[in-house]
Structure formats: C-alpha cells, structure tokens
Amino acid sequence: MSKITVWHNPRCRKSREGLAMAEKVAGEKGLEVEIRKYLDNPPSKDELTKVLKMLGMKPIELVRTKEAIWKENFKGKDLTDEQVIEAMAQYPKLIERPVVIYNDKAVMARPAEKVLELF
C-alpha cells in the first residue's frame, strides 16, 4: 500500500493543519499516513538532500531562519548548501514544517492545501 509521509511537529498549528489535510486526502485515496515526528526522529543529511530534490528547493528555503538556534549559530554566515543541510540534520528544529511526501514528490504544506499538489 502506498503511503503519505508527514514530517510533523504536533506543537505547530501549521503542521497540524498539514497533517489533517494529508489524512483527509489519504482517506479519499485509500492511502496510509505515516507520521514522522522529526524532532524525535530527525532526518539524516542524505534524507534531507533527497527530500530537498523532491521539493525543488534550495536548502536555505527549508530553514526556519527566525529560530534562535539559527540566529545564534548561523545567521550572517556564508554557508554552503551542504553546511545548511548539516545544520538541519544537527538541529531538526530548524526544518520548516510540515513536509508531506508521497512517492517521489514532496511539498511544504503551507498552506495545507498544497498537499493536493501531490496528486
């Protein structure tokens, strides 16, 4: 069975909205939803690289640049894409959410309706 994977932070309203939309679509399409609490189970550098390709985004576009971790450690530095990916792998709180993945496509579900673009 195909599944929709959601990189989710339950404390984030936008993430909860994205998950709800993914669950609605999954119900309509007969798919399973896999919830990945990425703060507890962070993606590796390889996973981040693969998902960034699916998203069609540069690494910096997936970073929550307003997070204190970013401001204190990385803001103003000239980082390579690889260094930005390393920062997200080390500090998963920096990853923008929710990321919704289906087959070989992914979207940043902000707004939640972006989930529909996967189908």
Go through the domains of the chain in sequence order and give each one's CATH number: 1-38+97-119 (3.40.30), 43-94 (no CATH)
Q: Which helix (H) or strand (E) holds 15?
A: helix 13-29
Token pair 């996967």 in the structure block, residue: 118
Active site residues: 12
Whole-number Cα distances in Å, 58 to 18, 27, 85, 87, 108: 21, 31, 10, 14, 13
Find out whether 100 and 8 touch, Cβ atoms under 8 Å. no
The CA distance from 73 to 20, in Å, is 33
pLDDT for res 1: 63
Q: Which helix (H) or strand (E) holds 54?
A: helix 45-55
The CA distance from 6 to 17, in Å, is 11
Q: What is the pTM of this model?
A: 0.94
pLDDT for res 2: 86
Residue count of the chain: 119
Going residue by residue through the chain (119 aa), what tens digit of pLDDT does each one get?
689 999 999 999 999 999 999 999 999 999 999 999 999 999 999 999 999 999 999 999 999 999 999 999 999 999 999 999 999 999 999 999 999 999 999 999 999 999 999 99
Q: Which two tokens stand for residue 44?
A: 């590796």
